[in-house]
Amino acid sequence: MSGPKVTLENEAAQSTNALGPLVGLAREDFVGAVAVLLRETASDPKRLMKHAQTMGEDMVKIVTGKSDLAPNPKDKRFHDPAWQFNPFFRAGAQYYLAIQKGMNNWLEDLELDELERNRANFISNIIIDSLAPTNTLAGNPIAQKQLINSGGLSLIKGLQNAYNDIVHNRGMVSQVDKRPFKLGENIATSKGNVVHRTEMYELIHYAPTTDEVYEIPQLTIPPQINKMYINDLSPEKSIIKWQVDNGVQTFVISWRNPSKDQGHWDMSDYIASCEEALEVVSTISGSKKVNVSAGCSGGQTASVLASKLAATGNPILNTLTLMVCVLHPKPTDIEAGSLVSENGIQIAKKRAAKKGIIKADDLARGFAWLRPNDLIWNYVINNYLLGMDPPAFDVLYWNSDATNLSASLMGDFLTLYETLAFSTPGETEMADHKIDLTKVTADLFILGGVTDHITPWKATYRSTQLFGSKDVTYVLSQSGHMQAILNPPTNPKAKYFVQKKKGKLPATADEWLQGTEEVKGSWWPYWMEWIQKRSGKKVAAPQIVGNDEYPAQESAPGLYVIEEV
C-alpha cells in the first residue's frame, strides 16, 4: 500500500497552512457565493431546464448501458479496474461524472464576471467532491476488497480511527501518524542552543560545522502560523544543516505560540522582536550586517521589517531572501481567494478580536475545507474505509503542529491585503512607519513554486517589481508550496528555472518565463552561492554558540516549539 501513502504525503505536503487573505474568510462569504448561484438559477429558468434535460439524457444512457462517460485518466480516485469492468461501479462513476459535467456546463453558461465565476467554481467543486462515490464503503471497490481480504478487520480499524479522531482530533480526520516523531531526537536535530529569550520569541544559534565561516550571519524569520523547525525537519531536508555545512552562521527565530492573553500581539510587536533579534545576531557575530531569509507569512513580516529598517536609516539588512511569499495579491490569484470580501474581512476581524486568538485547530479545519479532496476525502478513504493509518511524514507532522494566531496580528495581515500596502508606497502605516519597499535597496533573492496553489508563482514574481533593489534574482522551483522550499540536492527529480541573461528582471512573470532556462538539480546550491558572494570574507568559526552577553541556554529547537497552550 506504499502507493496510496506516497500520494497522500505528496498531495498534503502541497497544502500546508498559510497566512494570507484566507484567514479573513467569513462564513458569510460562503453564503454569498451560494447566493450568487441561486440568483442565477432563478434568473433564467429556461437555461436551468436546458441543462437539466441534458443531464437527464446522460442518465438514460447510463441506465441503458450506452453512456461513454469515463473518468479522467489522471483522476486517482478511479484507477481501480473495477470502475471500468464492473457494471455497478462503472454506472456509479458515470452518475457522478454526469452530475459533474452538468454542473460545469451550467456554470459555463451563467452570466458571471471573473470574480463571481471563480467563486461559483470553487463552491461547486467542494459540493461535487463530497458526492464522489469513492467517499463511501458501498461505492469504493478498493475499500470493499480490503474489507474481504482483511476478514472485516479493516472496517473495525476504520471505526477505531474515526473514534480516535472524534475524541482526540476534534472530529477532523487525521492527516499524519504523529507517533514516530520526537522533536530533538529524530526531527529538528541540528545542534544549537537558545541564546536569547523574550515573552514573544526565542533566538536559536546553530553550531558551526566548518572550520571557517562567512563573517556576515543569516537570520531566518519563520511564519507565525507554524513552528520554526520546518527549516530542520531531517538531515536530508534541513535548510539549517545546509547553511552551517556551507559556512553560514545560522540564527533562527522561534515564535511563541500565543495564548488568549497574548492576542494583542500585533505586527508592531513582531517587528520590534525582529529588530531586537537582528541586534543580538550582530552582537554575537560581530558583524554590522545580517542576511535575512523568510518564507510565506514570514516573508510578509520580513518585508515590513525591511521597510522599517529603511525608514529609520538602520543599515543592518544586508540581503533579503523571500520564499513562496506574495506581497501584491490579487483576488483571482486563487479561487478560494475570490470568496474573500471586504465585509467578510471586517466580520472575521471582529470575531477574532472577541476571542483574542484564532486557534490552531480552527485554522487547520478552515484550510482543510478549502481543499477537501486533498485534505479530507483522501484521508476519509485511507483512514476510515481502508482502515489504514495516515502516513508518518515529517512535513505533515510539522504542519499538524500549528500555532494559534493573535487577533491583532491577523488584523494587520488582513490590512496588508486590503490596502495592498507593499505595492502602494507610503500609504499604509504599520509598525510605527509608512510601508515603502521602494526605499529598500538590499540585494533580493525571491523563490516561487511551479505548482504552488497557496502562493502561486506568478503572484510571487510580482514582488520583484516592488523593491528599490537593483540586484534582484528570481528562481522558480519545481513542486508546490513547502515542497518548493524543501527541495534538497538529494532529490533526484529536483529542477528549477532561472533567467538566462543576467540583468534587470522583466515586468511580468510571462515575460520572465520566456527568457528562462531549466536547470536540473536543487536550487539550494544556486542560492548558497548567491548568499556566500554576499556574506563577506571567511573567518575562523566560533568555538561556542552565543557569547558572554548571550550565553547558550536550552538545546535547539528550544522550549517554545514544545510548549503547549
204 strand-pairing partners:
194, 252
Helical packing angle, 114-130 and 27-43, nearest 10°:
100
Cα–Cα separations (whole angstroms), residue 445 to 215, 219, 324, 506: 20, 15, 11, 15
Q: Are 218 and 291 in contact (CB under 8 A)?
A: yes
Helices (H), 25-140: 27-43, 45-63, 82-85, 87-109, 114-130
Could you give the 3-state DSSP secondary structure of residue 195? strand
Give the integer Cα–Cα distance in Å for 398 and 25: 24
Q: Are 177 and 391 in contact (CB under 8 A)?
A: yes
The 10 Å Cβ neighbour count of residue 148 is: 9
Could you give the 3-state DSSP secondary structure of residue 291? strand
DSSP state of 173: P
> H or E segment at 372?
helix 372-372
Q: Provide the CA 4 distance to its chain's centre, in angstroms.
A: 22
Give the integer Cα–Cα distance in Å for 274 and 270: 6
DSSP state of 373: I
Question: What does the DSSP assignment read for 116-133?
Answer: HHHHHHHHHHHHHHHT-G
Q: Are 217 and 316 in contact (CB under 8 A)?
A: no
Q: Of 255, 224, 561, give the one whose Cα is nearest residue 407.
A: 224
The x, y and z cell numbers of residue 470, run together, are 537593483
Residue from 176, 248, 294, 296 carrying the catalytic annotation: 296
Give the integer Cα–Cα distance in Å for 5 and 362: 26
CB-based contacts of 350, cutoff 8 Å, min separation 6: none
Q: Are 363 and 402 in contact (CB under 8 A)?
A: yes
Q: Are 301 and 416 in contact (CB under 8 A)?
A: no
The verdict on whether 274 is a catalytic residue reads no
**Which residues are known catalytic residues?**
296
